[in-house]
Structure formats: C-alpha cells, structure tokens
C-alpha cells in the first residue's frame, strides 16, 4: 500500500471494542486509520479511546453490545460495525450499521471497506 492510498483515512479514529480475537485492529491500522482498542467497552473506556470524535466503532464481542447505544449517545453520527461470532441482541440491532461474521470476512477486507 502506498502513502497516497491511506491519505483519506489519516486522522480518522476507529475504536475497536472487545477482545480482538481476529486481529481486526491491526488490519484497520494497516489501512491508515488510527485504531484505538478497548477491551471493556464501558462509557469511560470509550470516551478515553476517543469515541466522541471517532469515525467508526468496531465491536468484536456481542456480549458487549451495550457499548453500541452508549457509543451512539456520545457520537450520533458514528458508524457501528459488529465483527464478531454470535448474534447481536435485539436492543442493539437498530443502531448497528453492519454485522459481519469473522468466519466469512477476512479482517483486511473489512478494514479496506471502512
């Protein structure tokens, strides 16, 4: 990848929340985004990671789906991508823009489409 290919993403923060079992944060960083990783996606951790100004939230554990409405409350324009095994709880589905199964989508491909 050349520098000009990543220029459009520089300065755009993507918050990766949850255990990054599939190494999506590295793929996001490789695409030129600023990846901020939090293991526990509670409000203080999301705020510290920069969710208020973030471009996208990538949730890697459906068990932490409560992070979605919290993040959207802090940043209503946020794009939410769930990249995890399992089903998203009903309460979080409406605020999820895209849900992807890691068994079907490679982290690099997902990061390239952000």
48-99 pLDDT, tens digit per residue, is: 999 999 999 999 999 999 999 999 999 999 999 999 999 999 999 999 999 9
CB 80 within 8 A of CB 57: yes
Comparing 6 with 63, the larger pLDDT belongs to: 63
- Name which of 41, 45, 110, 49 is nearest 69 in CA terms: 41
Does the reported pTM lie above 0.95? Answer: no
Residue 79: other Cβ atoms inside 10 A = 15
In this prediction, residue 6 has a pLDDT band, given cuts at 50, 70 and 90, of very low
C-alpha 50/C-alpha 35 separation (Å) is 10
Show me where the domains of the chain are located: 3-103
Confidence class for position 8, pLDDT limits 50, 70, 90: low
């079907």: which residue's tokens? 104
Query: What architecture (CATH level 2) is domain 3-103?
Result: 3-Layer(aba) Sandwich (3.40)
7: pLDDT strictly greater than 80: no
């Amino acid at each position: 990848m050349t520098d000009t290919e990543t220029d459009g993403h520089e300065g755009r923060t993507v918050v990766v929340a949850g255990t990054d079992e599939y190494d999506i944060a590295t793929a996001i960083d490789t695409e030129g985004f600023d990846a901020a990783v939090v293991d526990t996606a509670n409000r203080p951790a999301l705020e510290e990671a920069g969710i208020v100004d973030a471009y996208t939230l990538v949730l890697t554990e459906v068990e932490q789906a409560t992070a979605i409405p919290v993040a959207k409350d802090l940043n209503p324009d946020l794009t939410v991508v769930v990249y995890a095994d399992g089903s998203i709880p009903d309460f979080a589905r409406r605020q999820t823009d895209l849900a992807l199964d890691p068994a079907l989508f490679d982290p690099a491909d997902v990061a390239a489409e952000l």
